[in-house]
Copies of this chain bind each other. A is one copy, B any other.
Amino acid sequence: MSEEGENAVASDPQWDEERLARAALGAVIDVGSTSLARLVSAEGAASVWSALRSSGSDSSWTRRARLLDLEGLVGAAERLGSRFVVPGDEEWPVQVEVLDETELGGMGGAPAGLWLLGPGRLNELVGGAVAIVGARAATRYGESVAMDLASDLAAARDGGPGRAVISGGAYGIDAAAHRGALSGDGRTIAVLACGLDQLYPRGNAGLLRRIGEQQLLVSESPVGTHPTRAGFLARNRLIAALSAGTIVVEAAARSGAANTARWTAACQRVVMAVPGPVHSGMSVTPHRLIRDQMASLVANAEDVQALLAPISQPVLLGVGGERRPLDQLGGELLVVREALPGRGTASTDEIAVRTGLSVADCLASLNELEDRGLVRADGVGTWLLARPSRSTVR
């Protein structure tokens, strides 16, 4: 990283070469590029970025690379108060790594890095998070259901926090979901298809500003980026990957929410849909998803809770009455435990796909969790959550 324009930020120890290269790649490469993700994973971001900048070829990527004012971009992002997280950072959500194994409509790959704005800690928020998505032109019925679901799911339960509600900050269902979570002092994340300084759509700027101040805004794209169609599709993959499950509240026959549902299924997360009146055009996609068994019907927050693994929270263990809160578990252990369904069992392979971890890492974590009495092997290669007994006598 020897280009002169990058010397100032490059001298900031937080902005090491790899991080700068990831920010640069995120700025010049089309979002959701499977080939970029593969290259970065194989060769490291710094090497890919260096090759791109010095390439003699004339492609849209190399042209953009030569034109990029990386120092200006990082400076603007820092003035906005945003931060950039990359794999290996504590705040990096390992959940998105499932995207390295997932392709849909020619798109895939984990983002090179994520821009964040707000006091929320991304890695903590996404544990057990639920996405609530749907039509911009939602009905009052849909907005009311989205708001109720978000409020109920985000509300504190059993002394622990509720589920963070993830959505895309758009008009209609998205905004209702964010507002519902906020209304009950719950946690919410808006994943944007634009730079964190853009706050698109304009009519939701107040809501998005509040989320940036009190909660968390997330984007794969740097400041200054305007939303594009490809950007919206790439954003949908992030919403799907960051969540334990996605609820489609209302969506017309052709809709972005159906795309998010497909990403959710591709990421092996739980796809849920809310029924509505059969005459409503806005319930066409939820009904089709349920009819074709691509989504489970959810009519209320209880239905959602039954489909998702319990959110991590302090639980009583059965051994000697000792309290050992689950949130003392390390990142991987927590991720693996959360990948287990609330009801029923999952195979090691399924858990690997859900978590984005290798099968070997999953097995190691599952055995560690078994030692701690938090999961049980059922003897046929699958795993289930161990329900801690409140009694110390088994």
How many protomers of this protein does the assembly include?
2
Query: Is B277 in contact with A141, judged by CB distance below 8 angstroms?
Result: yes
- Inter-chain contacts of A287 with B (CB < 8 A): 275, 297, 299
Report how far A141 CA is from B298 CA in the complex, Å. 20
Query: Is B278 in contact with A277, judged by CB distance below 8 angstroms?
Result: no
Report how far A299 CA is from B288 CA in the complex, Å. 9
- Inter-chain contacts of A275 with B (CB < 8 A): 275-278, 283, 287, 290, 297
Q: Which of B141, B145, B278 contacts A300 (CB 8 A)?
A: B278
Report how far A284 CA is from B291 CA in the complex, Å. 17
- Inter-chain contacts of A284 with B (CB < 8 A): 299
- Inter-chain contacts of A141 with B (CB < 8 A): 277
Cβ of A16 within 8 Å of any chain B Cβ, yes or no, is no
Interface residues of A in 215-251 (CB under 8 A from B): none
Cβ of A274 within 8 Å of any chain B Cβ, yes or no, is yes
Interface residues of A in 292-310 (CB under 8 A from B): 293, 296-300, 303
Report how far A300 CA is from B297 CA in the complex, Å. 17
Query: Is B276 in contact with A303, judged by CB distance below 8 angstroms?
Result: no
| Nearest B residue to A278, CB-CB | B299
- 20 additional A-B residue pairs with CB within 8 Å, beyond A275-B278, A290-B297, A291-B299: A141-B277, A145-B278, A145-B279, A275-B275, A275-B277, A275-B283, A275-B290, A275-B297, A276-B276, A276-B277, A278-B299, A278-B300, A287-B297, A287-B299, A290-B290, A291-B296, A291-B298, A291-B303, A293-B293, A297-B297
8 A-B residue pairs with Cβ-Cβ distance under 8 Å, sorted by A, are A275-B276, A275-B278, A275-B287, A278-B299, A284-B299, A287-B297, A290-B297, A297-B297
